[in-house]
Structure 1
């Protein structure tokens, strides 16, 4: 028997992990030359807070057995990641082609996974466990 992974739940859980990492150690993800810049560390932490809130909200909705609420949180995460993707594409003038490619490469898998989860979820009924 093959277990089917709920991509949206996996993504929400990963988002929590990324959020915690970015809050606790924001310079880990920055290029070495940018790691000493306090502004960059603060910006990474704000991204971490966003990811922690979006992922936490989705996982909490899942555990409470609220599939409609879970889908709203997952959709908000997908919208946020899509916005990041568009900013990366449009930011080529500011950061150069190489910088834009890096920005898009970081977020594109999240957008793809979110889209897959959204499509799969739209074909299922009540994916989250029922509340007692």
Structure 2
């Protein structure tokens, strides 16, 4: 489970660069603001106790690879990225991390579900984070995964 949080500097942006993503939508990238991106991956340890070391180690490896990819993208674009791997309940860890790092914005993705699957997953991590924090949260839609 991942989330990106940013801390923007107090100064006004100068020479902010822009990019187009998704097509026909413009956004200003973090490097123009002197922002730091806090890339977070949470290993969900809410499973049954006992023999769960292998699944946890597997998720940690996936998380480390994902965080490495975010740091690499930041390096390519001149954006400071701090990587964080936490263990616990994802929604709680994301909210706690945002408070711990005094972020200005939380950015999270969704699965982009529609129809019944959207209703059945109403207790999603993203939905809980939005409810639990007063920090502005940008939710980025998924690839349209849903009922066929």
TM-score (norm 1): 0.34
TM-score (norm 2): 0.31
